[in-house]
Structure 1
Amino acid sequence: MKLLVPVKRVVDYNVKIRVNPDGSGVETSNVKMSMNPFDEIALEEAVRMKEKGVASEVVAISIGTQQAKETLRTALALGADRAILVDATSDMKQDIEPLLVAKILAKIVAEEKPDLVIAGKQAIDNDMNATGQMLAGLLGWGQATFASAIEISAGSAVVTREIDGGLQVIKVALPAVITTDLRLNEPRYISLPSIMKAKKKPLEEKSLADFGVDPTPRLRVIHTDEPKQRSAGMRVGSVDELIEKLKNEAGVLS
């Protein structure tokens, strides 16, 4: 069984995000970048499936700039067998829209013919949570989102999903698209030997022209603002004073 895992290069989750002074977007110059955490979880799950003998090959794909090669080399070091980079833009500040990503992935799926696409549920830079669903729609495949557990057997996947009311277990026929949630697994650390081996693994490069898709943006960011600073708290001298303030100032009690 072949597995395909899309991975995205984003601002590292440990970095404090700063908005450009003109409000045009998030500052990315001289900022540490890394693999989207949800994609790292998806990749870890794919590698574990291969280690269990469930899968025979794991292919990592990234769509973006040439700098995404670093992310793909990380994917190879984590256990992917080969990687594909789609050079979609030279502008590091341009975010490739989910629909365009889904269309490119659909073309790659047609070429690679994987049995399962495992993707992160969303990217932490734009929180769209849309690519996996759009890809499943374009392919006409079944989908299981927000997966916290995955079991593969007899041509289907049994997926435990995290929902507002608790957990939901569904069964989806393969081929399918699964998007991963935080509690699915804990990604491994990369060892030095794995980093050295990754340098010898194949990394194929493609361009938008290879897929015949329209890259015209359908979304436009009007303005980006930083969250408002939280106001300082206050001390109260008694429970009665606390209740009074919750009633008359905060308005959360009646």
Structure 2
Amino acid sequence: MISCGDAQEYVPFGRDYISCHPGEVGLPPARPTTTPPHLDLLRQLDTVSINASKDWWEVRRSADTLTEEELYVSGSTVVWSRGLAGNIGSRQIIKSMTCDSPVQHALFATFYTYPDQPALLGEPIPEEPTGESIPSICIVESDSLSIYTVDGEDYSLALPFPVRKVWPVKYGVLLERQVPGAEVASPKPEGERLPTFYSLMHPLDEINPLLIVSGYSGSAASLPT
């Protein structure tokens, strides 16, 4: 038998919790930056256009399949909580933090230790992730990417470009570079263009460009000489 009830608006737990959060009180001065003026201006414009809403959130089922996790973002504050669905009293805070600048993107992601990751560039990567999983959340600001794991470890990486979008993927995260309008209007030759997509496979790795290799079909006899 299937029963139906009245639909109710979902109120994120983080919204209630953040009303008691001290916010930016007591934060140290923003870290100095040597970003070129034109790139800094682009990042500021990009920050304005990315998120029009005041707050947003993401909910996923926890690894134990009995509870759910909520990632709530409001301005520069992020609240990561866990609890039973529909039971506010069961909610527990995993971590809450206030960043130096407004949060542009926040998402759940899983990295892996990759004990058998290829040591040499060009060797094939395993079809499926190997090693121990590192469940984490990723927070993107205008010039940095912060990673917080469920074990309490945290990492911070400087971003060499403004990020337009970021996705969790099987091997970590995929980042899309914000392409300036001038670059679109006057594209450079193919060999001089900067890649658009980048990947991060482990919190201690560097952000690397994603290259697409076109396959070749045919026999050796058909190769030009």
Which category describes the TM-score, using the shorter chain as reference length? under 0.3
- Structure with bigger strand share is 2
Q: How high is the TM-score relative to the length of structure 2?
A: 0.21
- Structure with bigger helix share is 1
Say which structure, 1 or 2, has more relative contact order (CA 8 Å, 6+ apart).
Answer: 1
Q: How high is the TM-score relative to the length of structure 1?
A: 0.20
